[in-house]
Structure 1
Amino acid sequence: MNKTVTVREYAQLTIGATPSESLDVAHVTASAFDHLCKLNASFKKSGAALLQLDGRQSLKLDNYVGVIQTPCGTTLEILPKTTDEADGAPASRALLQKMIQAALKLKTRIVGKAALDLFDAPISEWVMGQFLEALEHLIKCGLRFEYQRIEEEQPYLRGQLNTLAQLRQPPSRRHHFQIRHDVYLPDRPENRLLKTALLKVCAATRLPSHWLLAHELRSRLSEIPQSDQTEHDFRQWRNDRLMAQYRDIKPWCEIILSQQMPLALSGDWQGLSMLFPMEKLFEKYVEALLPTQLASDAQLLPQRSSKFLCLHKSRDLFQLKPDLMVKHPAGYIGLLDAKWKRLDSNNIDKNYGLSQSDFYQMFAYGTRYLESKGELVLIYPMTSRFKEPLSPFIFSDLLKLHVLPFDLDKQKLIGIETTQLPRR
C-alpha cells in the first residue's frame, strides 16, 4: 500500500511503536527501513552519510532534504528544519521549493505564496508538475527536429544512389536500389532526454492530474526513443539560439534524471528519488540572492580554489575552497562561507553553537587569500534564536570575522551594514 511519510532533517524513524508521530518522529515499514539502510551503505562508499543507526529498530536522518521512494510503496519526504516546533510541514515545504528554485535558477509557473502553501504533496510531485507544465508548453511551441542520414535498400530510387553499394549487389538483387537520403526526425539528444524523464514521471507520480498529463504527453512523444546514455546526451544538449525554447525545461529534466544537485540513488529500485545536501543547497541559495544586496559593480565569485594550506617538497597540499568571494574595483576583497546550522545567540557559554573547526577554516582562508588583512563572513540561517549579527570575532588588528543571519523568507542577509561589504 502506498504511504507518504513527511519528516524533517535529523528526524527519528522507527519500525517500533511510537506514542505520537510528528515531523521529528515517525514510523516506517520494515521493508522501507531496510531500504534506507542499504542506501546508507551506498552513501558511505562515497564518504557521505544518509543516516545514523540507533539500534536495530530505529535510525536518525542526516542533513539531506528531498524525497526517497522505496520498493514497498513508501514515499519518505524530508523537509528542512529551521525551528524547534514539531509542526509546520506546509511552511517547510514552501521554503524548500523557494530554495530549490532560487539555488538552481529555475523558472516556475507556480506563482504567489498562496499557491505554494496550498501545495501539500511531496516535493517530488512539485518538481514533476513543473517539468510536465514546461514540457506541455514546449510541445505546443514545437519540438526541434533535425535531418538524419538514412542508408537503406528499397525497390525504388529516392534521394541519392549509393553507387559503391549498388555495384556490390549480386545479380539477383540488381532490381533493388541502395540509396541514402535525409529524413527530418525528432530523434535528437534533447528530445531523448525529455522522453526518458517523462517515462520516469509516468511511473513515479501519484497525483491524478499529473498522471493524466504525463500519459497524454507520452503519447505525443511516442516516436521519440528514450536515452540509453543520459550523461552523453546531456553533454550533446545544445544551448544555441535555435534551442532557446528548451532552456527553461533543461533544469527540471536534470533534476529528475539526477544530473544536477540531487544525489543519484543507485540500485535495482528505479523510483523517483531526489536528495539535496542541505549545506550545498543553502550555499547556492545565498549565492543566488546575495547579489541583490551588493553594489552593482561588485563581483560575487563562487568557490575559489587557487590557494593551498601549505607547501611540502615543492607540492601544494590541502586546497582551500571558500564558498564565496566578493571583489570590488575599489580594492575590497571579502571571503564568505554559508553554513546550514542553527545558532543560539543567547548561549554564549557554548559559543552560540559555533564550530571551532569552522573558525580554523576561516582563519586559514584569511591567511592564505587575504594575507591576514581583511574581512571574513560566516552566514547561518536566521531562526527565532538567531535574529541579529553577533559581535565581530577578532583574529588580529587587521583580520576580523563576522557572523550574520540570512533571512530565508525575506531572502536577504541581515546585518550586511555592519560589514564593509560593498552594498547598494
Structure 2
Amino acid sequence: MSLITVREFARLSTAQTHPLSLDEATVSPAAFDWLCKESARLRPSGAVILELEDRQSLRLDNYVGVLEAPDGTRIEILPKAFDQAGDAPAARRLLRKMLQICINVRPRESSVTTLQTGSAPVNEWIFQQFVTELDWLLKHGLRFDYQRVQEEQRFLRGRLNLAKQVRQPPGRQHFFQIEHDIFSADRPENRLLKSALLEVCRLTRDSDTWRWSHQLAAMMHEVPPSPNVREDLAKWSDGRLLEAYRSIKPWCVLILHRLVPLSMVGTWVGPSLLFPMEVLFERYVSAQLVRQIGVLARLHPTPSSKFLCRHEGDNMFKLKPDFAILKSDQMLALLDTKWKQIDESLSNATDKYSLRQTDFYQMHAYGHRYLNGTGTLALIFPKTTLFRSPLPAFQFSDELALHVLPFDLDTDQLVGLERILPVARQLPDAA
C-alpha cells in the first residue's frame, strides 16, 4: 500500500517524477488505469474528477478527499489554498474545519491523540470522528423501542392470536400462535450505525481505529446491520428522544455515502471519499456569513426565482446565485463564491487580477434579473498573500456595482462586508 499526497489540479503520471511535490506525483499503471475508468464512470453524473493529458499523465480537478485504487494506492487530495507548497498538515486542518461546519457538527473532546494531528487522511479522520461519537453514545445508552413479534411457541406468552390458532392443522394443537412486544435496539438509527461501523472495520487502515471499531462492533453484536440504507435513512427520527444521536448522524451518513452515491456534500467512489471544493467553500462561507451579519440582515441561500430569458412562452436558463442578503424582505446584495486564487497586483487591463470574464457576465445577469439593474453584487474569493484587500469596485452602471472581496479562512471573516452591507460597520469585528 502506498500513500500519495497531492493538491487540487495536481498532475499524476506513470513516469518517474523528480522531485515529488503536492502538485506532481507518480502513480502505478494499475492505479492510473483505474482512475481513468472511474472518471469515465462518474462523468455522466456530472462529477468530473480529472482530465486526461496523454497516455501517461492526467490532471486532477477541484475535488478534495481520498481516492483508493484496487491495487492499494491511496491518493489524498488536499485544498489548494496555501502559499507554501509543502504545507500539507495546514491543508488537512482546513479541510477538516470546513467539513465540520458544512455538515453542522461540533468536535467532541477525545483522549485519542490521533484525532488532533494533521497526518491522517480525511477518510481516516472521518472514521475516527465516527467511532468517537459511537463510543460516547454506547456509554450513554442506545435508544431501545418496543417491537411487535408474531411467532409460534410451545408456551403461552403475550396475546394468543385466535385467528391463526383456530386454523392450526391437526396434530399441531399443542403449538400456540402468539404475539408479544420485545424491548429491542433493532430500530432504523441503530441499524444504520451498525452498518457504518462495519464499513469502518473493513476500510480503516489505522491500527487504533481498527481496534476501537472492532471493540464497538462486539458491543453492538445484537443489533443487525441495515438491510436497506435508503429506507432506513428516510426513517431516521430527529425527535427529542433521539437528541443524543444528532452528533453522530452526519458522520454516519458520510460513511454510508458509498451506498447512496452522489448525495449531500460528497461523492463516494468505492472506498474513496471526494468533496467538490467549490461546494464546500460556498457552504462554509454561507455558514460563517450567517454568524457574521448576525441580526443586522438575513442570508438567503441559493435564490432561484429568476430566469435569463423566455422562449415561446417558457422560461429558460434559471439563474441561481449562491446567496442573497436581505433586510426586511428587501434584497440588499447578491453574492457568489469562487474557489480560485486571484492576484491583486495584476491590476492592468490585460491580466485583470486573474478574474474570469464569464464570472462577470454571470453577475451582470444576476444584477439585472434580481436587482433590476440597481444594487450591489459581490464575488467572494479565498484570501491569500496575493489577495488581502477588497478590489476597487467594478461599475456595470451608475446604479449597479460589483465588489470582489476576500474571505479569510483563518479568522472566518469576510473582508469588506461593509461594502455590501453598510450597517455592518456597527459590528465590532467587521473587517
Partner of 1:205: 204
| Pairwise CA distance, 1:109 | 2.0
Partner of 1:91: 90
Partner of 2:103: 104
Q: Does 1:282 align with 2:281?
A: yes
Deviation digits for residues 266-293 of structure 1 (CA, Å, limit 9, x no counterpart) = xxxx42x111100000000100111232
Distance 1:280 1:422, change over 3 A: farther
User: What is the TM-score normalised by the length of structure 2?
Assistant: 0.93
Give the stretch that moved more between structures: 282-291 or 48-57: 48-57
1:294–1:421 Cα contact (<8 Å) kept: no
2:50–2:59 Cα contact (<8 Å) kept: yes
Q: Does 1:240 align with 2:244?
A: no
Q: Does 1:51 align with 2:74?
A: no
Q: Does 1:170 align with 2:174?
A: no
Distance 1:413 1:110, change over 3 A: farther
Partner of 2:310: 311
Partner of 1:406: 407
Which whole-Å CA distance do the structure 2 matches of 1:17 and 1:213 have between them?
Answer: 38
| Pairwise CA distance, 1:9 | 0.3
User: What is the TM-score normalised by the length of structure 1?
Assistant: 0.95
Amino acid at match of 2:390: P
2:62–2:277 Cα contact (<8 Å) kept: yes
1:309–1:368 Cα contact (<8 Å) kept: yes
Partner of 2:260: none
Deviation digits for residues 43-98 of structure 1 (CA, Å, limit 9, x no counterpart) = 21113311111211111100000011221111111000113542100111111111
Amino acid at match of 1:75: R
1:52–1:60 Cα contact (<8 Å) kept: yes
| Pairwise CA distance, 1:417 | 2.5
Which whole-Å CA distance do the structure 1 matches of 2:117 and 2:106 have between them?
Answer: 19
1:294–1:422 Cα contact (<8 Å) kept: no
Contiguous gaps of at least 5 residues in structure 1: none
Partner of 1:396: 397
Task: List aligned pairs for 1:186-205, cutoff 5 A.
Answer: 186-205=185-204
| Pairwise CA distance, 1:307 | 1.1
1:102–1:288 Cα contact (<8 Å) kept: yes
2:324–2:333 Cα contact (<8 Å) kept: yes
Which whole-Å CA distance do the structure 1 matches of 2:265 and 2:237 have between them?
Answer: 21
Which whole-Å CA distance do the structure 2 matches of 1:147 and 1:291 have between them?
Answer: 41
Which whole-Å CA distance do the structure 2 matches of 1:260 and 1:252 have between them?
Answer: 12
Partner of 1:358: 359
Amino acid at match of 1:260: M
Give the stretch that moved more between structures: 128-137 or 199-208: 199-208
1:372–1:398 Cα contact (<8 Å) kept: yes
2:382–2:407 Cα contact (<8 Å) kept: yes
Amino acid at match of 2:70: P
Contiguous gaps of at least 5 residues in structure 2: 258-262
| Pairwise CA distance, 1:110 | 5.3
Which whole-Å CA distance do the structure 2 matches of 1:220 and 1:422 have between them?
Answer: 55
Partner of 1:325: 324
| Pairwise CA distance, 1:225 | 1.3
Amino acid at match of 1:309: L
Which whole-Å CA distance do the structure 1 matches of 2:188 and 2:329 have between them?
Answer: 46
What secondary structure does 2:12 align onto? strand
2:332–2:420 Cα contact (<8 Å) kept: no
Distance 1:359 1:110, change over 3 A: farther
Amino acid at match of 2:346: N
Give the number of aligned pairs: 416
Deviation digits for residues 101-154 of structure 1 (CA, Å, limit 9, x no counterpart) = 11221211259xx98773311111111111100000011111011111111110
Identity percentage over the alignment?
49
1:67–1:274 Cα contact (<8 Å) kept: yes
Structure ranking higher on relative contact order (CA contacts 8 Å, 6+ apart): 1
1:22–1:87 Cα contact (<8 Å) kept: yes
Amino acid at match of 1:213: W
Partner of 1:42: 41
Which whole-Å CA distance do the structure 1 matches of 2:238 and 2:410 have between them?
Answer: 33
1:9–1:80 Cα contact (<8 Å) kept: yes
Partner of 2:265: 261
Q: Does 1:347 align with 2:351?
A: no
Give the stretch that moved more between structures: 277-286 or 352-361: 352-361
Partner of 1:371: 372
What secondary structure does 2:37 align onto? helix
1:104–1:284 Cα contact (<8 Å) kept: no
Which whole-Å CA distance do the structure 2 matches of 1:187 and 1:307 have between them?
Answer: 47
Once superposed, what is the RMSD of the aligned Cα atoms?
Answer: 1.6
Which whole-Å CA distance do the structure 1 matches of 2:33 and 2:198 have between them?
Answer: 27
| Pairwise CA distance, 1:31 | 1.5
1:297–1:329 Cα contact (<8 Å) kept: no
What secondary structure does 1:179 align onto? strand
What secondary structure does 1:352 align onto? helix
1:103–1:287 Cα contact (<8 Å) kept: no
Distance 1:4 1:110, change over 3 A: farther
| Pairwise CA distance, 1:330 | 8.3
| Pairwise CA distance, 1:422 | 3.9
Distance 1:140 1:34, change over 3 A: same
What secondary structure does 1:357 align onto? helix
| Pairwise CA distance, 1:30 | 1.5
